[in-house]
Amino acid sequence: MKKIYILDTNVLIHDPISFMKFEENTVVIPMSVIEELDTFKSAADERGKSARIVSRQLDELRNRGRLNNGVKLDSEGTLKVELDHVQVLPREFKLQEMDNRILNTAYWYQKKKNNVILVTKDINLRLKAEGIGLTAQDYKSGKVKVDELYSGMAVAEISSDMIDRFYKEKSVKIPDETSPNEFIILRAKEDHKKTAMGRVDPSNPSLVKALGPEIAPWGIKPLNKEQRCAVELLLDDSVKLVTLVGLAGTGKTLISLACGLQKAVDESVYRRLIICRPIIPVGKDIGYLPGTKEEKLSTWMGAIYDNLEFIMDRRHQDDALQRFEYLLQNEKIEIASVTHIRGRSLPKQYMIVDDAQNLTPHEIKTILSRAGEGTKVVVTGDPYQIDNPYLDAASNGLIHIVDRFKGQKIYGHLTFNKTERSNLAALVTELM
């Protein structure tokens, strides 16, 4: 039996072409959703961009017929824009609220004996729908199975003789299936305590090569095997995209910044180090902030400044602050919000996108497409520390990259598991 899917505004903002992904079923966009998109269209952020894309797509579909009567989609389904109806919801629901108007449209269709499903990324709206007997679902297209996510590190059991040969020849062929730039812990079958570690050659997936000499970029020494492997990826210019996933305090941002400074400032391989992150408040927002763009950003970029100051203190103990200011003024370091990255072309840059778990797949695509010739992009985040109300661990942009880029020769990934910030931070991560 064909279904009727009622789409909420946040689904279209999350994926502007989502209405084309419901196969042969009917997709209904309530007029209240069109009105809400109209309020977003002038915004300079990704929400505004998505709203404009939806509007253009719907306008093009008008060439196929009247939207209020329904038009055929390439998926063999039907799209319809539906006027808001008189209230059929219980009187407790006030139609002044946009969510209730969308809910009212879905309820009206159900009253007509249709097989109706309300699709929304708003948890509370799904609860309200269930409360009145409506079927409600999250938008699941593009969701990733987090439990099966590529970790960037695997274990391969080989003979003790092969491990000896690996230490001597600095490489070994293994029969196991691997991905380019994946790190392999080689373990002897005869004695599990006898191990070695290498990285898969991107041009030969069956060949594992020994890691290079351990480096402490800008005085930041790796504290565990994940950090050690991350440094290997971050300092390798042939790896153009690196993702680092892990809990708070595992050292993702610190290691990335130290390697970025090494490549952009010391070695001048890249013109500058660019660090950006989404501006999403934790808890209640404090409203508009006074000052210049730099002064406004300093509030949101506190975590970045803290890490940079820590690194500067390790490298330049006597004049760390002056050195930091010098690098900022000479544009060797640039700190920006994700909003200011959009529309730019960034050749030969070392770009770090921090807190990427708060970005949608569409937003992360926009950012990665800014990378010009010779640019390296590092994307970090914790998929379980999301402040965006319409994203979760399975649908955010960071996880989307890991799922899509696995197997690419210019891509590397690592999952961090051990908190190194402090004993207290480690205990908090474990207990809370």
Report the pLDDT averaged over residues 413-428. 79
Report the 10 Å Cβ neighbour count for 167: 11
Using DSSP, state whether 118 is helix, strand or coil.
strand
Q: Would the CA dihedral through 153, 393, 46, 43 be positive or negative?
A: negative
Please compute Rg for the chain using Cα positions. Answer: 25
DSSP-based three-state secondary structure for 69: coil
- The answer on pLDDT for 432 being more than 70 is no
The per-residue pLDDT for 60 is 95
CATH number at residue 159: 2.30.130
Question: What pLDDT does residue 4 have?
Answer: 95
CATH number at residue 86: 3.40.50.1010
pLDDT reported for residue 401: 95
Domain membership flag for residue 419: yes
Cα-based torsion angle of the residue sequence 299, 302, 305, 310 in order, rounded to the nearest 10 degrees: 150
Whether residues 56 and 100 fall in one domain? yes
Q: 281, 178, 291, 245: which is closest to 384 by C-alpha?
A: 245
Claim to verify: residue 94 and residue 238 sit in the same structural domain: no
Number of neighbouring beta carbons within 10 Å of residue 385: 13
User: Residue 282: which domain range?
Assistant: 226-431
Same domain, 129 and 184: no
Both 336 and 419 in one domain: the answer is: yes
In a domain, 61, yes or no: yes
218 within some domain: no
Q: What is the DSSP string of 238-287?
A: T--EEEEEE-TTSSHHHHHHHHHHIIIIIS-SSSEEEEEE----SSS---
- The structure tokens listed for 131 are 């409360």
Q: Is 343 in the same domain as 383?
A: yes
Write out pLDDT tens, residues 349-381.
999 999 999 888 888 888 898 889 999 999 999
Last residue of a domain, one of 92, 110, 137: 137
Predicted confidence at residue 281, as pLDDT, reads 45
Q: Which of 179, 211, 243 is the last residue of a domain?
A: 211
CB contact at 8 A, 300 and 337: yes
Q: What is the CATH number for 230?
A: 3.40.50.300
Q: Is residue 98 domain-shared with residue 204, that is, in the same domain?
A: no
Give the predicted TM-score (pTM) of the model: 0.80
Contact 132, 351 (CB under 8 A): no
Tell me how far apart the alpha carbons of residues 292 and 281 are, in angstroms, rounded to a whole number.
Answer: 19
User: What was the pLDDT predicted at 81?
Assistant: 95
Give the total residue count for the chain.
Answer: 432
pLDDT digits (tens, 9 = 90+) for 3-50: 999 999 999 988 899 999 998 999 999 999 999 999 998 887 778 888
Q: What's the token pair of residue 174?
A: 């293994």
Q: 73-98: per-residue pLDDT in tens?
A: 998 899 999 988 889 998 889 988 99
How many angstroms separate the CA atoms of 4 and 79, rounded? 10
Residue 281 lies in a domain: yes
H or E segment to which residue 137 belongs: strand 135-137
Task: Indicate whether 184 and 258 sit together in one domain.
Answer: no
Residue 389 in any domain: the answer is yes
- Do 97 and 44 touch, CB atoms closer than 8 A? no
Residue 15 within any structural domain of the chain:
yes
- Helix (H, G, I), strand (E, B), or coil: what is residue 21? coil
Residue 90 maps to a domain: yes
Q: Are 203 and 181 in contact (CB under 8 A)?
A: no
The pLDDT tens digits for 169-212 are 999 999 888 999 999 999 999 998 999 999 999 999 899 999 99
- Which H or E run includes 401? helix 397-405
Confidence at residue 284, expressed as pLDDT on a 0 to 100 scale: 42
Please give the Cα distance from 258 to 248 (Å, whole number). Answer: 17
Question: Is the domain of 345 the same as that of 413?
Answer: yes
Tokens of 250: 């595992």
Q: Is residue 220 part of a domain?
A: no
Task: Please provide the average confidence, as pLDDT, over all residues in the chain.
Answer: 87
Looking at the fold, whether 362 and 380 belong to one and the same domain comes out as yes
Q: Environment class of residue 413 by beta-carbon count within 10 Å: exposed (0-12), middle (13-18) or buried (19+)? A: buried
Gap between the Cα atoms of 22 and 16, Å rounded: 13
CB 23 within 8 A of CB 75: yes
Please give the C-alpha separations between residue 82 and each of 39, 220, 336, in angstroms, as whole numbers. Answer: 18, 59, 41
Residues 25 and 159 in one domain: no
Look at 183 and 343; give whichever has higher pLDDT: 183
Give me the pLDDT at residue 425, please: 66
State how far Cα 235 lies from the chain centre.
22
How many domains are there within the chain?
3
- Give the lowest-confidence range in 254-258, 296-300, 362-366: 296-300
Q: Are residues 12 and 67 in the same domain?
A: yes
What is residue 295's predicted lDDT score, i.e. its pLDDT?
54
Q: Specify whether 17 is located in the same domain as 48.
A: yes
